[in-house]
Each structure stands twice: as structure tokens, then as C-alpha cells.
Chain A
Amino acid sequence: NAGVTQTPKFRILKIGQSMTLQCTQDMNHNYMYWYRQDPGMGLKLIYYSVGAGITDKGEVPNGYNVSRSTTEDFPLRLELAAPSQTSVYFCASSYSGPTLPNEQFFGPGTRLTVL
């Protein structure tokens, strides 16, 4: 049971390039999330998904896209990378069921630098 895995661990992009951050969970969780953490700050929610085929915006969605075609995978797409997207990106998952409060499990993060 690997939990939440993210690839890559590090990436440097040039301005205007695109990339996809991968996230996979093997806990059969229905909820998945993408957060970003800027230096010295807390995490902010980018997008989340309540199940396959259903996604919704979080606090800071501009410049990003997501899709959720399976329960396990929740990729985050950056189009036209900008320096403001330099950050550490965390994927998380949780199970929404009768047992509350449904702890979120986090991946190890992807450090992205846009130059």
C-alpha cells in the first residue's frame, strides 16, 4: 500500500512550457485534491474531485486544469507556465463516508520552478 504517490519530485520549466503533474492513490479514496504551497506559506487548494468524472475549483485554480477519469488518478495540468506558478504542489486524498472526519492523506510533493 503506497498511499499517495506523485511524479515527478522536481521539475524546472521555462516560461510558456506545459506539463502534467501526476498523482495516484491506492486507497480507493473517492476524494482527491491538489494544493500548492508557496515559500513560507500554508497550502492553498487548487482543484478537488469528489469522484471519477467530477471536479471543482478551489481557491487558486487559474492557470491549471484537472481531470479525473479513474478513482486512482488525478493529474494536474499546467498550461503556459508562468513564474508565479513556482511552488511546491501536493496531492491528497480522503474517503468520504460515515466515519468522520475523513483524514486527508498527502503525497510527498512536487517542487516546480518556472524560469
Chain B
Amino acid sequence: AQTVTQSQPEMSVQEAETVTLSCTYDTSESDYYLFWYKQPPSRQMILVIRQEAYKQQNATENRFSVNFQKAAKSFSLKISDSQLGDAAMYFCAYRSAIGQGAQKLVFGQGTRLTINP
């Protein structure tokens, strides 16, 4: 079974600075997807960014980018120019590309990000 580990329960950053959230995962599959979800105090789960494992290029979405290291099974999220609205729980998630595990998300434990004004 696949597992996802986020080793940083809490992180904080000054407004306008850059922060990196870590995620590692364990799988024997070669084809899969990785995601970062944001959960603000409203509890709504919001997709921040996704990465296809077959793509070597790291995904970017405006101020959010990832560092995907397939061999190391590492998938970190970088938030640039941090804003107060970025404060939330961030979850890393894994999904198989094929087979019975496809479509099912496996989540890490989450990292609580605080933005200091």
C-alpha cells in the first residue's frame, strides 16, 4: 500500500517571503499523480497543484511550484511571496494512475502553515 509522509507538522513564514513544505511518499508503482491540497479554517479542501509522475518538468501555478524528485520519492511545495490568505493546513496526496487504486487519494498528515505579518 502507498503511504504519504509530511514530516513538518507546523511551519511559519513572514509575509512576502518564500516557504517550502516537504512531502515524501512510498510506492512501487511507476505511474501515479501527486497533489497538494489546501484546507483553510473553513475546512474546504482546495486543490493547489498537481504533478503527473511521467512528466519530468515540475508543475507551477502562479506563486506555487513543486520540486518533484521521482527517484527520491519526494514532492515538496514552494510558496513564493507568501500572503496572509495562504495560511492553512496543506496536505500532500498520492493517487495511482491505473488499477484498483486509481482515483483514490492517499493523504499525508498535513502541515499547518502560519503567515506572520
A44 near B107: Cβ-Cβ < 8 Å: yes
Asked whether A108 lies within 8 Å of B43 as measured between CB atoms, the reply is: yes
Contact (A94, B107) CB under 8 Å given A101-B52, A103-B50: no
* A40–B47 CB distance below 8 A: no
Find out whether the CB atom of B50 lies under 8 angstroms from the CB atom of A45.
no
- Residues of B contacting A69 in the complex (Cβ-Cβ under 8 angstroms): none
Bound-complex Cα distance A107 to B45 (A)? 8
Q: State how many angstroms separate the Cβ of A104 from the closest Cβ of chain B.
A: 6
Chain A residues in contact with chain B, CB under 8 A?
31, 33, 35, 40-45, 48, 50, 58, 88, 90, 92, 94, 96, 100-104, 106, 108-109
Beyond known contacts A48-B103, A48-B104: 17 more, CB 8 A cutoff? A40-B9, A40-B110, A42-B91, A42-B107, A43-B45, A43-B105, A44-B107, A90-B45, A96-B103, A100-B33, A101-B50, A101-B52, A102-B103, A106-B45, A108-B42, A108-B43, A109-B44
A-B contact pairs, 27 of them (CB 8 A): A31-B103, A33-B103, A40-B110, A42-B4, A42-B6, A42-B91, A42-B93, A42-B108, A42-B109, A43-B45, A43-B105, A45-B105, A45-B106, A48-B104, A50-B103, A90-B45, A94-B103, A96-B102, A96-B103, A101-B33, A104-B47, A104-B105, A108-B42, A108-B43, A108-B44, A109-B43, A109-B44
Chain B positions near chain A (C-beta within 8 angstroms): 4, 6, 9, 33, 42-45, 47, 50, 52, 91, 93, 95, 97, 102-110
